[in-house]
């Protein structure tokens, strides 16, 4: 397989990311939101575990493709930033609601 150019490589990485299914609005939205957050944290743990495993393989010399380690590391980093941003927005929203009640 020939190496991918810049745009093709980004498309290949993007196609490997999970996609969200459309949801309808129901009374179970709170549970669905909680399940989504739990799934995101579980996915983050899996990405970090994969990244750590590939990093160890790279350090010990057992890794043939350093690109895989770099891509896994970048995915874990970006996912961590996303989860942290969602957490911060949730905390901000909670604090704003508490201020409205005071």
**pLDDT of res. 7:** 45
Output b/e per residue, 15-42; b: 16+ Cβ within 10 A: eeeeeeeeeeeeeeeeeeeeeeeeebee
Does residue 12 surpass a pLDDT of 90?
Answer: no
Token duo for residue 82: 């996303």
**pLDDT of res. 32:** 87
C-alpha span between 14 and 3 (Å, rounded): 16
**pLDDT of res. 14:** 52
The better pLDDT of the pair 15, 93 is held by 93
Kindly give the residue spans of alpha helices, DSSP state H, lying in 1-102.
Answer: 6-16, 29-60, 66-101
**pLDDT of res. 22:** 53
* pLDDT tens digits, one per residue of 19-72: 555 555 555 677 888 888 889 899 999 999 999 999 999 999 898 889 989 999
Confidence (pTM): 0.63
The upper half-sphere exposure of residue 51, i.e. CA atoms within 13 Å in the direction of its Cβ, equals 17
**pLDDT of res. 8:** 52
Q: Is 54 exposed, middle or buried (0-12, 13-18, 19+ CB in 10 A)?
A: buried
């Amino acid at each position: 397989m020939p190496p991918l150019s810049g745009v093709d490589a980004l498309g290949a990485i993007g196609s490997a990311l999970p996609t969200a299914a459309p949801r309808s609005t129901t009374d179970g939205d709170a549970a669905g939101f909680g399940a989504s957050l739990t799934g995101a944290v579980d996915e983050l743990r899996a990405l970090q575990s994969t990244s750590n495993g590939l990093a160890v393989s790279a350090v010990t010399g057992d890794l043939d493709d350093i690109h895989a380690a770099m891509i896994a590391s970048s995915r874990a980093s970006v996912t961590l930033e996303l989860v942290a941003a969602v957490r911060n927005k949730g905390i901000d929203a909670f604090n704003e609601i508490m201020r409205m009640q005071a």
